[in-house]
Amino acid sequence: MGSPNLEAVDWIWHDGEFVSWNDAQIHVLATAVQFGTSVFEGIRAYDTPNGPAIFRLDAHIRRLFDSARIYRMEPPNFTPDDIAAVAKEIVLKNDLSNCYIRPMVLRGYGAPGLNPLNSPIETYVAAWPWGAYLGEDGLAAGVDVCVTSWQRAHPNTFPARAKAGGQYVNAQLMKMEALLNGFVDAIALGPGGLVSEGTGMNIFLVREGVIITPVLDGTSLVGITRNAVIQMAKDLGYEVQSEPVPRESLYTADEIFFTGTAAEVTPVRSVDHIPVGEGKAGPITLSLQKYFMETVRAENEDSHGYLTYVTG
Ligand SMILES: Cc1ncc(COP(=O)(O)O)c(C=O)c1O
């Protein structure tokens, strides 16, 4: 059920050196393992006519360091520029083109109790080939999802703007519930009962030609793809609104789609078994998906400076 295993490559970067994939090990009693103290990013590189290009590398590195700062674990020996350079190198060193890049900063083996401050901060950057997150069929035809019974955390409990490993136990509860009930993924409500986001993606609705996305209310991740897709939608001449979205809007939308580094632009064709619009990927969704894929593959002009070429 769900995703296949990770596709191993040769090298992972750890605190300044490349180690072989199988040697990138961590102690079972590391603070990150016991208590979830890691922050991470998910970044994609795409094949282009000028070699692999990383989509929005600077924004991802900024968010990694923001997450690390929130959790008081900024890498002591590496700057954002260093990690951005490693993100390019890891693609080259593993001879990858279309791939997913995973920088992680974590608290290693050290302190026995809850205080993480005395556990060493370790930084890793991995990469591997990864296709469509919710399946090729899902990208083309749309996915069937539910509203999960688990909620996103209240602001000022788990900081939603930080992408921290421990926070994803909540998303995993949602994902398992969805899969075991026959859905591909789930939409989460925030603590106030309004639509927040998907398990690992942001959400958009389309109603009478207007593109709507939930406000950033401190219960969702500030998606880098979300931001790019809003810009792309405006470039294509669509009206985009960010507003509070009640659950029932999901059942009456003409179109729904997810955005995320992993999910890219994935149409949603049903929610809780209610068809979205005509029960298939909608025209605005597909036009945005097309524009997004053309942009990441450098088939459009990169007018917003989204691409970083790994050999550049
Ligand atoms: C909870 C959550 N929401 C949204 C997203 C989408 O964010 P982005 O577009 O920056 O990948 C992600 C993926 O990182 C996520 O984990």
Of 2-16, 191-205, 274-288, the least confident: 2-16
pLDDT digits (tens, 9 = 90+) for 152-185: 999 999 999 999 999 999 999 999 999 999 999 9
Structural class in CATH, domain 136-296: alpha beta
Q: Is the pLDDT confidence value at 2 over 80?
A: no
Average pLDDT value for residue range 227-233: 98
Residue 130, pLDDT above cutoff 80: yes
At 111 the pLDDT is: 84
From residue 153, alpha-carbon distances to 36, 110, 183, 188, 193 in Å are 16, 29, 22, 10, 11
Q: What is the pLDDT of residue 137?
A: 92
Position 112 scores a pLDDT of: 86
CATH architecture of 11-128: 2-Layer Sandwich (3.30)
What mean pLDDT comes out for the span 20-27? 97
Pocket perturbation via mutation, ligand 1, pick of 261, 264, 292, 296 by most ligand atoms within 8 A of CB: 261
Provide mean pLDDT across the span 233-261: 98
**pLDDT given at position 272:** 98
64-108 residue pLDDT tens: 999 999 999 999 999 999 999 999 999 999 999 999 999 999 999
Whether 1 has a pLDDT exceeding 60, the answer reads no
Contact residues of ligand 1, CB 6 A cut-off? 42, 171, 197, 200-202, 220-221, 223-226, 259-261
Atom of ligand 1 nearest to the CA of 171: 1
* 262 CA: nearest ligand 1 atom: 11
197, 188 Cβ separation under 8 angstroms: yes
Question: Which pTM value belongs to this model?
Answer: 0.97
For ligand 1, the distance from its centroid to the CA atom of residue 259, given in whole angstroms, is: 8
Please give the distance, rounded to the nearest whole angstrom, from the Cα atom of residue 223 to the centre of ligand 1.
Answer: 5
Q: Which protein residue's CA is at the shortest distance from atom 16 of ligand 1?
A: 200
As a three-state string, the secondary structure of the chain is CCCCCCCCCCEEEECCEEEEHHHCCCCCCCHHHHHCCEEECCEEEECCCCCCEEECHHHHHHHHHHHHHHCCCCCCCCCHHHHHHHHHHHHHHCCCCCEEEEEEEEECCCCCCCCCCCCCEEEEEEEECCCCCCCHHHHHHCEEEEEEEEECCCCCCCCCCCCEHHHHHHHHHHHHHHHHCCCCEEEEECCCCEEEEECCCEEEEEECCEEEEECCCCCCCCCHHHHHHHHHHHHCCCCEEEECCECCHHHHCCEEEEEECCCEEEEEEEECCEECCCCCCCHHHHHHHHHHHHHHCCCCCCCCCCEEECCC
Q: Is position 290 annotated as part of the catalytic site?
A: no
- Residue 126 Cα distances to 48, 51, 54, 106, 235, angstroms: 21, 19, 14, 14, 33
pLDDT at res. 134:
87
Nearest to 180 by CA among 189, 188, 168, 172: 172
| Residue boundaries of the structural domains of the chain | 11-128, 136-296
Quote the ligand 1 centre to 17 CA distance (angstroms). Answer: 28
Bridge partner list, 99:
45
Among residues 163, 234, 280, 290, the one annotated as catalytic is 163
Tell me how far the alpha carbon of residue 199 lies from the centroid of ligand 1, in angstroms.
8
